[in-house]
Structure 1
Amino acid sequence: MRWTLKPKPTQEDINRLSRELNVDALVAHLLLQRGIHNYDEAKLFFRPELEHLHDPFSMKDMQKAVERIESAIENQENILVYGDYDVDGTTSVALMASYLQESYPNVATYIPDRYEEGYGVSFQGIDYAADNDISLIIALDCGIKAIEKVVYATEKGIDFIICDHHRPGENLPDAVAILDPKQEDCTYPYKELCGCGVGFKLIQALASRKGKTAEDLILYLDLVATAIAADIVPITGENRVLAHFGLQVINTSPRIGIQALIDQVKKRTLTITDVVFIIAPRINAAGRMKHGQHAVALLTETDFNMAQQFAQEIESFNAERRNLDQETTEAALLQIQENDEENRFTSVVYNENWHKGVIGIVASRLTETYYRPTLVFTKSGDKLSASARSVKGFDIYNALEGCSDCIEQFGGHMYAAGLTLLEEQYETFKQQFEKVVSETIDPHLLQPEISIDAPLELNQITPKLMRILKQFAPFGPGNMTPVFMAEGIQDTGYARGVGEEEKHLKASISQKGSTPIGAIGFNLGNKLGLVANKKPFDAVFSLDENEWNGTVSLQLKLRDIR
Structure 2
Amino acid sequence: MRWTLKPKPEAEKVASLKKALQVDDVVTTLLLQRGIDNYEAAKTFFRPSLNDLHDPFLMKDMDKAVKRVESALLQNENILVFGDYDVDGTSSVALMSSYLKTKTDSVATYIPDRYDEGYGISYKGIDFAHDNEFSLIIALDCGVKAIDKVAYAKEKGIDFIICDHHRPGNELPNAIAVLDPKREDCEYPYKELCGCGVGFKLIQALASKDGRNVEDLVTYLDLVATAIGADIVPITGENRVLAYFGMQVINANPRPGIQAIINQVKKEELTITDVVFIVAPRINAAGRMKHGNYAVTLLTETDTFLAEQYAEEIENFNSDRREADKRITEEALQLIEEQDEQERFTTVVYQETWHKGVIGIVASRLIETYYRPTLVFTKSGDKLAASARSVSGFDVYNALEACAEHIDQFGGHKYAAGLTLKEENYEAFKQAFEDEVSKTIDKSLLIPEVKVDMKIDLSEVNDKLWRIIKQFAPFGPGNMTPIFMTDYLKDTGYGKCVGEDDKHLRVTVTQTGKEKLVCIGFGLGDKLDVVSNRKFFKAVYSIDENHWQGNVSLQLKLRDIKA
* 1-structure distance, mates of 2:201, 2:413: 21
Aligned-residue offset at 1:409: 2.7
* 2-structure distance, mates of 1:175, 1:125: 16
Map residues 347-366 of structure 1 onto 2, 5 A cutoff.
Answer: 347-366=347-366
The equivalent of 1:511 in structure 2 is: 511
SS of residue paired to 1:134 = coil
The equivalent of 2:47 in structure 1 is: 47
Deviant stretches of 4+, over 3 Å: none
The equivalent of 1:555 in structure 2 is: 555
Map residues 426-445 of structure 1 onto 2, 5 A cutoff.
Answer: 426-445=426-445
Aligned-residue offset at 1:222: 0.3
SS of residue paired to 1:162 = strand
**Are the aligned partners of 1:160 and 1:177 in contact in 2 as well (CA < 8 Å)?**
yes
* 1-structure distance, mates of 2:162, 2:97: 15
Q: Which string of whole-angstrom CA distances, capped at 9 and with x for unpartnered residues, describes residues 486-528 of structure 1?
A: 0010110000011101110001110021321111000100101
Deviation larger for 388-397 or 296-305: 388-397
Deviation larger for 479-488 or 397-406: 397-406
SS of residue paired to 2:375 = strand
Map residues 310-389 of structure 1 onto 2, 5 A cutoff.
Answer: 310-340=310-340, 343-389=343-389
Deviation larger for 361-370 or 470-479: 361-370
The equivalent of 1:541 in structure 2 is: 541
* 2-structure distance, mates of 1:527, 1:317: 36
Map residues 148-227 of structure 1 onto 2, 5 A cutoff.
Answer: 148-227=148-227
The equivalent of 2:57 in structure 1 is: 57
The equivalent of 1:422 in structure 2 is: 422
Q: 1:524 to 1:424 in 2, by over 3 A?
A: same
Structure 1: state its 5+ residue gaps: none
Aligned-residue offset at 1:63: 1.4
Aligned-residue offset at 1:482: 0.3
Kindly provide the amino acid, as one letter, of the partner of residue 373 in structure 2.
P
The equivalent of 1:240 in structure 2 is: 240
Q: 1:169 to 1:289 in 2, by over 3 A?
A: same
Identity of aligned residues (%): 69
* 1-structure distance, mates of 2:333, 2:8: 40
SS of residue paired to 2:349 = strand
The equivalent of 1:73 in structure 2 is: 73
Kindly provide the amino acid, as one letter, of the partner of residue 35 in structure 2.
G
* 2-structure distance, mates of 1:369, 1:189: 40
Kindly provide the amino acid, as one letter, of the partner of residue 224 in structure 1.
V
Aligned-residue offset at 1:341: 6.7
RMSD of the TM alignment (CA)?
A: 1.2
SS of residue paired to 1:489 = strand
Deviation larger for 8-17 or 407-416: 407-416
**Are the aligned partners of 1:495 and 1:505 in contact in 2 as well (CA < 8 Å)?**
yes
Deviation larger for 243-252 or 203-212: 203-212
SS of residue paired to 1:121 = coil
* 2-structure distance, mates of 1:558, 1:324: 30
Aligned-residue offset at 1:103: 1.1
Q: Aligned pair 1:412/2:412, yes or no?
A: yes
Q: Aligned pair 1:290/2:290, yes or no?
A: yes
Q: Which string of whole-angstrom CA distances, capped at 9 and with x for unpartnered residues, describes residues 284-323 of structure 1?
A: 1111111110000000000010000000111111111101
**Are the aligned partners of 2:73 and 2:103 in contact in 1 as well (CA < 8 Å)?**
no
SS of residue paired to 2:135 = strand
Deviation larger for 125-134 or 370-379: 370-379
Q: Which string of whole-angstrom CA distances, capped at 9 and with x for unpartnered residues, describes residues 10-31 of structure 1?
A: 1221111111100011100110
The equivalent of 2:529 in structure 1 is: 529
SS of residue paired to 2:475 = coil
The equivalent of 1:112 in structure 2 is: 112
**Are the aligned partners of 1:167 and 1:413 in contact in 2 as well (CA < 8 Å)?**
no
Deviation larger for 140-149 or 461-470: 140-149
In the superposition, the TM-score normalised over structure 2's length comes to 0.98
Q: Which string of whole-angstrom CA distances, capped at 9 and with x for unpartnered residues, describes residues 235-257 of structure 1?
A: 11111111000000000000010
* 2-structure distance, mates of 1:217, 1:110: 23
Q: 1:183 to 1:422 in 2, by over 3 A?
A: farther
Q: 1:440 to 1:61 in 2, by over 3 A?
A: farther
* 2-structure distance, mates of 1:89, 1:135: 21
**Are the aligned partners of 2:255 and 2:299 in contact in 1 as well (CA < 8 Å)?**
yes
**Are the aligned partners of 2:388 and 2:417 in contact in 1 as well (CA < 8 Å)?**
yes
* 1-structure distance, mates of 2:557, 2:293: 38
**Are the aligned partners of 1:166 and 1:412 in contact in 2 as well (CA < 8 Å)?**
no
Q: 1:49 to 1:501 in 2, by over 3 A?
A: same
Deviation larger for 543-552 or 62-71: 62-71
Aligned-residue offset at 1:427: 2.5
**Are the aligned partners of 1:91 and 1:196 in contact in 2 as well (CA < 8 Å)?**
yes
Q: Which string of whole-angstrom CA distances, capped at 9 and with x for unpartnered residues, describes residues 65-116 of structure 1?
A: 1111111111221111111111111001000000111111111001111111
The equivalent of 2:143 in structure 1 is: 143
SS of residue paired to 1:217 = helix
The equivalent of 2:262 in structure 1 is: 262
In the superposition, the TM-score normalised over structure 1's length comes to 0.98
Aligned-residue offset at 1:483: 0.2
* 1-structure distance, mates of 2:318, 2:544: 28
Between the two proteins, the alignment pairs up a number of residues equal to: 562
Q: 1:150 to 1:295 in 2, by over 3 A?
A: same
Deviation larger for 8-17 or 483-492: 8-17
Kindly provide the amino acid, as one letter, of the partner of residue 353 in structure 2.
N
Q: 1:521 to 1:148 in 2, by over 3 A?
A: same
Aligned-residue offset at 1:386: 1.6
Kindly provide the amino acid, as one letter, of the partner of residue 496 in structure 2.
R
SS of residue paired to 2:330 = helix
SS of residue paired to 2:36 = coil
Aligned-residue offset at 1:432: 2.5
Q: Which string of whole-angstrom CA distances, capped at 9 and with x for unpartnered residues, describes residues 378-401 of structure 1?
A: 112222222121111122223223
* 2-structure distance, mates of 1:152, 1:383: 26
The equivalent of 1:129 in structure 2 is: 129
